[in-house]
Amino acid sequence: MSVDSSLLQSIIDRSSDGPHVEKFQEIIETHTVEVLPFQEWRFEINSNDKLKLRLLKGTAEIFGTEVSPNIDLTLQGSLKSSISTFSGCTIKYWNCQPSSEYVGEESCIGSYLNLHLGLENLRINSQTGGPRVLIIGPKDSGKTSLSRVLVSYAEKMDRRPLLVNLSPRDSIFTMPGSLTATAISGMLNIENITLGETITTGPSFYHPKQPLVKCFGLENYRDNLKLYKYLIERLSDSVEKRLMASEDVRKAGIVIDTPAFHIGDFEVIQEIIDDFKVDVLVVIGNERLLVDLKRKLKYDSSKLKLLKVSKSSGCIDVDDKYKREMQQRAIKEYFYGMDNSQLSPYTIMVNLKEFIFMKPKELAALNMAFMSTDAVEDEANKTSAEIKYSDFMERVKIASSSNLENAILAIADDSDLEVGKYVTAVDDKEGNLELIKAIAGRSVLGYCYVLGCNDKEGKAKLLIPSPVQHLPTKTFILTQFRYHE
């Protein structure tokens, strides 16, 4: 049987090219959004989604922080956000489809810019320091967004504004349950849900956004209004020292974010104005609140300006489930970092009998927002000498898995105390009162997480961000917050 030589040669030629492999190219569905000047693209993504986007053309920003062109950004987890533009832009996004997305034609970025320019004018003309801005508004009115825009715009002008957060539900550079003050000396991380890196996730341990942190330990400021007001006073003292220590920060001024205050909280608002020496009060989206505050607050109109800013049409109601997800993500990030900056936290075993555990009292019954007018005035007239420290915190008499498992603990500063004499004296009322006086208003050293408790051995395993052989304290503050890995 003869074989055609030409056919044989063609077979040899094909075999010399190596095995034939079919290549499949992954098809990624992309979407493009055109946003006109002074409009914004609003979007929401679910907890398990990861949205990637890129600015193709024009200029854009996320809450005042500029989006770099032709660089991929990754936003993941439950998120409700927006990208705004002054000059128009083109955005490409892929990897997932937002659960909701649209271009909003009504944007407040123009009014926010005007407010920033007015504050910048005050910075230029002031001889003593920059403006001290307090932002007030109802729930989900955009207070945090406006705060972020104002400090970001100031940072673009080479300013170093101090961002103060008085909402314990939010996580601003640290754990929820905290009141903080942070000098903004660099761009905020727009891929991060807590406005920027925490103290543990920054480019270095001594990165510039290290906050002053007071531990409130509760989620709702009304759960212990006395402790809340006391911490505001102590935080304002720390802020004044920070301003005196840095001329740049002093010239840039302060922007204060707040929880959802209403007119029943006017005495708290008055205290914030007095303690922080506020000279610009901004009310978002509630003209009646502005009018009521003008009538009830005691202020000099030549020293305090009251302004109203419209509420963005992009503001939406946020439910408790979404808030919980944000808090859990902030806690996880504190210990484990982000995808592009992962951390390896450390564990340490402690003997529970060698430590003191305090916790904030929940005094919802003393919520002054529901007191009569006379009761409010009586409480407001109390002097600092009449403060009942016993209303702030209480000693955890038996530390065990029942109250420590999965808990977030604040590492209190007890550096100048003879802690040894307090450790075993659990029922010593005077000693516990001395502890409360010493640690309640101090800035905390950090946070740790209780991985587990062994009640039989009386030990607990703690997760901490940095390696240490010994903890710098013998006193912890047991917060209301829990984390489940």
Q: Could you please report the per-residue DSSP string of 217-267? A: --SSGGGGHHHHHHHHHHHHHHHHHHHHH-HHHHHH-EEEE-----GGGHH
* 271 domain-assigned: yes
Give the pair of three-digit tokens for residue 363.
């005094």
219/138 same-domain check: yes
Q: What letters, b where the CB count within 10 A reaches 16 and e where it falls short, cover 269-287?
A: bbbbbebbbbbbbbbbbbe
85/187 same-domain check: no
- Binding-site residues for ATP, please? 40, 80, 140-145
132/48 same-domain check: no
Cα atoms in the 13 Å half-sphere on the side-chain side of 64:
25
**pLDDT score for 372:** 40
282/379 same-domain check: no
138/189 same-domain check: yes
Each residue of 54-113: pLDDT tens digit?
Answer: 999 999 999 999 999 999 999 988 888 999 999 999 999 999 999 999 999 989 999 999
* 13 domain-assigned: no
Instruction: Name the strands in the sheet holding 100-104, side by side, starting at the edge strand that comes first in the sequence.
Output: 65-66, 61-62, 79-85, 39-45, 100-104
* 23 domain-assigned: no
- Domains: count for the chain: 3
Considering only CA atoms, which of 188, 196, 134 is closest in space to residue 171?
196
122/90 same-domain check: no
The domain boundary, picked from 104, 134, 159, lies at 104
Residue listed under structure tokens 């002031």: 126
- Binding-site residues, please? 40, 80, 140-145
* 336 domain-assigned: yes
**pLDDT score for 21:** 52
Q: Range of 303's domain?
A: 109-309
The end-to-end CA distance of the chain, in Å, is: 74
CA dihedral 268, 270, 271, 273 (to 10 degrees): 130
Give the pair of three-digit tokens for residue 481.
């917050």
158/295 same-domain check: yes
Q: Which residues contact 77 (CB under 8 A, 6 or more apart)?
A: 45, 47, 49, 193, 325, 329
* 289 domain-assigned: yes
Considering only CA atoms, which of 349, 384, 340, 357 is closest in space to residue 478?
357
Cα–Cα distance measured from residue 452 to residue 471, given in angstroms and rounded to the nearest whole number: 17
Helix locations, 79-224, DSSP H: 109-125, 143-156
* 227 domain-assigned: yes
447/337 same-domain check: yes
**pLDDT score for 8:** 47
**pLDDT score for 7:** 52
**pLDDT score for 343:** 80
**pLDDT score for 384:** 43
142/283 same-domain check: yes
Cα–Cα distance measured from residue 329 to residue 327, given in angstroms and rounded to the nearest whole number: 5
**pLDDT score for 282:** 97
188/231 same-domain check: yes
The domain boundary, picked from 52, 70, 104, lies at 104
**pLDDT block averages, 10 residues each, the chain of length 485:** 54 52 61 96 92 95 93 89 95 94 93 96 92 95 93 94 95 92 88 56 49 94 96 96 94 96 94 97 93 94 93 85 89 83 86 94 58 43 63 93 95 90 88 92 93 94 86 94 89
92/115 same-domain check: no
**pLDDT score for 467:** 81
